[in-house]
Amino acid sequence: MEHNRAWRARFPNPPDLCFDYRRLVEQPGGVARATDKSHRICIIGAGVTGLTAAHELLRCGFTDITLLEQSRRIGGRHLTVIDRSQPATRGSTPFEMGAMRLPYFNRADETPLQGRSVLAHYTQRFDLRLSDFANPGSAQVSSTGIFLRDGLLEGQDTPRMLIWDNQDGQTPPPGKLLKQVHEKWRLFAERMTRQVQAHYASEGWESLWSAIVQRYESLSFRNLVSLPAISHWQADDPGNFGGVGMSAEESAIFYAIGIGDGSWGAFYDACSLYPIRTAIFGFSHRLQLMHGRVDERGDPLPSPHLQAGTLLDSNGLAFDAPRYLGVAALDECLLFMPVEKSGLSFYEHCRQRGAGFATQAQVNGLSKLPNQQIRVDYAWQWSDPQRREQRSELFDSVILTLPSWLIETTLELRGFDEQMLPFHIRSAYKTAHWETSCKVFAPLKKTFFSEPHGIPQALVTDSLIHDMYTYRYNDTYPYDCILLSYTWEDDATKLALFSDQELVDKCVGELDRILLHASNINRRISPYIDTQKAAVHRWMSDRNALGAAKLYRPGTYYEAIDLMNYNRHYAARSGLYLCGESFSVDAGWTEPCLRGALDATIHLCQRTGAQFNGGFSLDHYPEYSGRPPANNPPTAFNIPRSR
């Protein structure tokens, strides 16, 4: 274990793997030096996972890389909507329809760029600007309005909005019931965090995490919330931290207000390990708003192809040129910013090759051939029946990053035997649960933040809109931003009936109704909103995604771990590498996508005999802890003396 310690992660960081990916990727030259540079690699999907894999494999020196993207844009569920009528050199307010608030896994006394995350590395390397995200109930908002039970939560006769002012980051929410709910969650989270932080990366860490998993993987979040609390943790029962201990009434309130970043009710029937991972291991702390590759005025810095308007892929098809604003700037930098040594970006490398980057290419078949190559079949210009053309290419390795429901519905796998792609792996990704999500954004007049009006900056409700966010990117931008409604799962499905404009009008009308109904507000928000320039995105009906985030039900956690173990156990034989959110356990976050891309890169380099940098070898790389043997209860946890 001692020779591996230099590669161990530190807290906060995801619980598995306990590995410092940032140390690996920030080395000169990246992960490794390729020895088989002409090894033919196909990456399916140009979301952040596929773009990261392409960027890092090019850094390693691989030269024959092909990136296939089904849609007409890059970025996948990094979907930043901007006003493209503005000059490219001028910034404007982006609407983040996908990833919106980003964790950097930095400690309380550190800046985000000091966090030990891959995202922190890329943010620093690409000079991306950040600010604290305005989460409901956080110190980053002037106030949060809480409007539950139509304003009668505390049993008063007159409807009122409860105002939570937490600018010091230490103030509990107002009202007796809200304080009770807040305190019960705080005690549970602190009890677990205390032990996790003390033992993370120690010799006994994997056994402690395994015990936690065994205790909670069969529980839903709903069950965890109502499970009785315990007073303290015991080393002879290491995985048991009890429950949150809420009553039915408290649970109904917690459904709406969540853990401090908006409603969590949509996740009540997910496996309890998902909120545990999110709350305890850094995913929900010190979240950041990504402004893009911009200066202090919010205008894009000089960057490759900034003023191009449109660009052409390797087949001559047009796609949008980069604007380097919002979260999409990360994806654009991965494609267009140069790597070391060659000085070429992946995009420029493909231009020189005359091949390697194709948009509007829907992959519909992977065939393992007797000569061990993989044939990739795809429909080129697939969305246009008049121009659609079936094409095939041969590769030595394929990296698959698609959302798993797309894999099941559009992609046929042939010739992969049980030693290459076992049934339990195929079953795990086919039966995975994907959540829908709906976001409704609109421009917000600058006067909202300058005029006295008494309307809270953020709002949490149990009405159909659920969560409202308002925030500002830059004083120089012509308008600010309001997320009129942010919903998940059933709460998002309820909104499927309405057209986009109907939904915008309904959300604004509901906000006005709430604010007028609250006797201590009694003012409309609609005069500050430009409904004609609103934007709506529904992820379940996005044919390039078929969902917003992959979650797992109680009792299916180990199936997700099986997927994460695939590259380690099967890829060398199959030539197929699985990575991205479909093959992770942390739904809806960017960091696991980046780490999944690096996991595929590590194993592909191992398979091709590449020379790892920095003294790293696969011996330093831990393995995901799979399903324990039946009837194997957790044993007493022995705290290492060095701790």
Q: At what angle do helices 176-199 and 273-280 cross, to 10 degrees?
A: 80
What are the extents of the domains in the chain? Answer: 2-13+33-78+295-434+547-618, 176-280, 437-546
Q: What is the pLDDT of residue 423?
A: 97
pLDDT of residue 1: 44
DSSP assignment of 67-93, as one string? EE-SSSSSBTT--EE--TTS-TTS---
CB atoms inside a 10 Å sphere around CB 344: 14
pLDDT higher than threshold 80 for residue 340: yes
Which of the following CATH numbers is that of domain 437-546: 3.30.70.100, 3.90.660.10, 3.90.245.10, 3.40.190.100? 3.90.660.10
CA distance 397 to 227: 47
Give residue 638's pLDDT: 53
Does the pLDDT value for residue 318 go beyond 90? yes
Q: Which residues contact 626 (CB under 8 A, 6 or more apart)?
A: 558, 561, 562, 565
- Residue the block writes with tokens 């708003």: 289
pTM comes to 0.96
Beta-strand pair 41-44/80-81: unpaired
- On the question of pLDDT at 639 being above 50, the answer is no
User: For 351, phi and psi rounded to 5 degrees?
Assistant: -65, -40
Pull the structure tokens for residue 286: 């010190």
The pLDDT assigned to 502 comes to 97
Can you give the pLDDT at residue 635?
Answer: 55
The third-level CATH classification (topology) of the domain covering 176-280 is Guanine Nucleotide Dissociation Inhibitor; domain 1 (1.10.405)
Angle between helices 205-216 and 176-199 (to 10 degrees): 140
pLDDT band at 640 (very low <50, low <70, confident <90, very high): very low
Q: Do you know the residue count of the chain?
A: 643
Q: Closest by alpha carbon to 132, among 92, 85, 167?
A: 167
State the Cα–Cα distance between residues 340 and 345, nearest whole angstrom.
Answer: 9
Residue 164's H or E segment, with its range, is strand 162-164
* pLDDT 10s digits, 258-302: 876 677 878 899 999 999 999 999 999 999 999 999 999 999 999
Between the CA of residue 53 and those of 233, 248, 398, 577, what are the distances in Å? 41, 46, 11, 11
**Nearest residue to 585 via CA among 609, 629, 553:** 553
Please, how many CA atoms are within 13 Å of residue 241, restricted to the half-sphere of its CB?
Answer: 28
In angstroms, the CA 130 to CA 32 distance is 30
Q: How big is the CA angle at 225 (ends 224 and 229), to the nearest 5 degrees?
A: 80
| Percent of all residues in the chain with a pLDDT value above 90, rounded to a whole number | 90
Residue 411 predicted with pLDDT over 50:
yes
> Which residues, 6 or more positions from 429, have their beta carbon under 8 angstroms from its beta carbon?
404, 407, 408, 563, 578, 582, 583
pLDDT in tens, 451-503: 999 999 999 999 999 999 999 999 999 999 999 999 999 999 999 999 999 99
Model confidence band, residue 636 (pLDDT cutoffs 50, 70, 90): low
CA distance 418 to 336: 39
Predicted pLDDT at 641? 36
C-alpha triplet 113, 119, 125: angle, nearest 5°: 65
CATH fold match for the domains 2-13+33-78+295-434+547-618 and 176-280 = no
C-alpha span between 510 and 533 (Å, rounded): 18
For 538-553, the pLDDT digits (tens) are 999 999 999 999 999 9
Radius of gyration of the chain (CA): 24
Q: How far apart are CA 33 and CA 58, in angstroms?
A: 10
Rounded to the nearest integer, the mean pLDDT of the chain is 94
Instruction: Enter the tokens of residue 527.
Output: 């005069």
Cβ pair 380, 389 in contact under 8 A: yes
Whether 643 shows a pLDDT value over 50: the answer reads no
Nearest 5 degrees, angle CA 252-CA 254-CA 256?
80
In the 8-state DSSP scheme, what is residue 181?
H
Q: Which CATH superfamily is domain 2-13+33-78+295-434+547-618 in?
A: FAD/NAD(P)-binding domain (3.50.50.60)
Q: How far apart are CA 304 and CA 572, in angstroms?
A: 36
pLDDT digits (tens, 9 = 90+) for 95-118: 999 999 999 999 999 999 999 999
Higher local confidence (pLDDT), 50 or 86 = 50
The token pair at 98 is: 């996908």
Query: What confidence score (pLDDT) does residue 342 get?
Result: 80
The answer on pLDDT for 161 being more than 50 is: yes
- Give 630's pLDDT tier (boundaries 50, 70, 90): low
Percent of the chain having pLDDT more than 70? 97
DSSP code, position 528: G
Looking up tokens 């959110």 gives 581
Name the strands in the sheet holding 65-68, side by side, starting at the edge strand that comes first in the sequence.
357-358, 65-68, 41-44, 397-400, 576-578
Instruction: Let me know: does 43 contact 53? Beta carbons within 8 Å.
Output: yes
CA distance 536 to 485: 10
